[in-house]
Structure 1
Amino acid sequence: MTDENNVTNEDLNKMVREAENEDDVRTRDIASKEEEAEVQPTENEAKIEELTNALARAMADLQNFKRRTEEDQGRFVKFANAELLNILLPIINNFDRSAEHLPDNLKDNDWAKGVIQIHDELLKTLEKIGVKKIKTVGEKLDPNFHEGLMAGPGEKDIITEEFEPGYTYNDQVLKAAKVKVGDGTKK
């Protein structure tokens, strides 16, 4: 019986050692899994932060794209309007010349008055949409707004006569005014 007890004690000791080894392995596995569990949320948090930043950049890019698109559309509309106005300006100038050279016998004619009234309404409408006539006579010559065609007696660099009006549209020159400028000599 003693041998059986010894064997049993040896077996028990062996079993205890094996159990302790298994327990050590399990403890290490648990510690490893705990470390992984701690690392994994950190990795997930980093991934979430990365995706959040990417989303914020994408949203900012989209807003910038929308803003640029709206600005481009606005510029396109202004450009298209400017092209149309450049086509209409010679017609308006012809109206001006016709009104200036209206024969005396037609000045009281209702038809002629109606045409002049249409001309005036057209100018008012153009002014409402941003077209303005460039000031000339008595103004200092500004090459950005005036095209000096002649020089003659008068105060130096002051416009003395307008040959053809100039116009701006939304503060951009559509057509420079053609003018005569004083050269500093007296009349």
Structure 2
Amino acid sequence: MSEEQNPTVEEMEQDSAAAESASAEGSSDNLSELEQLQQKLEAAEAKAAEQLDLAVRAKAEMENIRRRAERDVQSAHKFALEGFVDSLIPALDSMEQGLAHEATNDESKAMKEGLELTLKMLLDALAKKQVEQLNPMGEVFNPEFHEAMSMQESPDHEPNTVMAVFQKGYTLNGRLIRPARVVVNKSKPTVNTKA
């Protein structure tokens, strides 16, 4: 073998140094690429999390809208008769006022019976539609359902109880349409001094 074919130690050291230098440059390029990929991955994950959050919020909002619409429809069904019932109340009041008068002869007694039956049929029909008549006679005064027209003292009644009813009240599915107009006892309870 000739010297030209065999590399010298110097040449081998130079080649080794060049290879190490190239390897170091390649690994630094690989490191920079890896950092870029890591940053892109983090950005993509942040965007995906943001999009998921938006999707979850949109779904929750749609669910709220659906529930609200269902509630509105139920309420509309439940209270659709309110105006109609409100317009019937004066007729009911008139019938009850007519029934309050005493029948003096056979003809007026027959008319009164017919009026009582008509009123009962009408109240029964309204009850089927969840309309309730409030007749609080003898009950404790409740400002949510009763309207005090006056207050009087009476030893025969408990304090704060309804002594008389001017007009009966009405509710539809628990919602007040008209309060009962009443007279309330304002006397204080008697204190028993005997022991």
Provide the TM-score with structure 2 as the length reference: 0.67
Q: Distance in 2 between matches of 1:23 and 1:133?
A: 96
Runs of 4+ in 1 over 6 A off after TM superposition: 11-20
Q: What stretches of structure 2 of length at least 5 have no aligned partner?
A: 189-195
- Is there any run of 5+ residues in structure 1 with no aligned partner, and where? none
Percent same amino acid at aligned positions? 25
When structure 1 is superposed on structure 2, of 126-135 and 13-22 the one drifting more is 13-22
Aligned to 1:30: 30
- Secondary structure, counterpart of 1:69 in structure 2: helix
Query: Which residue of 168, 178, 182 maps to 2:181?
Result: 178
Distance 1:123 1:160 in 2: 24
Aligned pairs for 1:32-181 within 5 A: 32-78=32-78, 80-101=80-101, 103=103, 104-108=106-110, 113=114, 116-152=116-152, 154=154, 155=157, 156-181=159-184
User: 1:149, 1:20 → 2: CA distance?
Assistant: 106
Do the aligned residues in 1 keep the contact of 2:79 with 2:173 (CA within 8 Å)? no
SS in 2 for 1:55: helix
Q: How many residues align structurally?
A: 179
Q: Cα deviations across residues 84-130 of structure 1 (Å, max 9, x unaligned)?
A: 32222112222323344484425446x963x5434323212322332
Structure that is richer in helix per residue: 1
Q: Which moved more, 1:37-46 or 1:145-154?
A: 145-154
- The CA deviation at 1:166 is 1.0
CA distance in 1, matches of 2:113, 2:33: 99
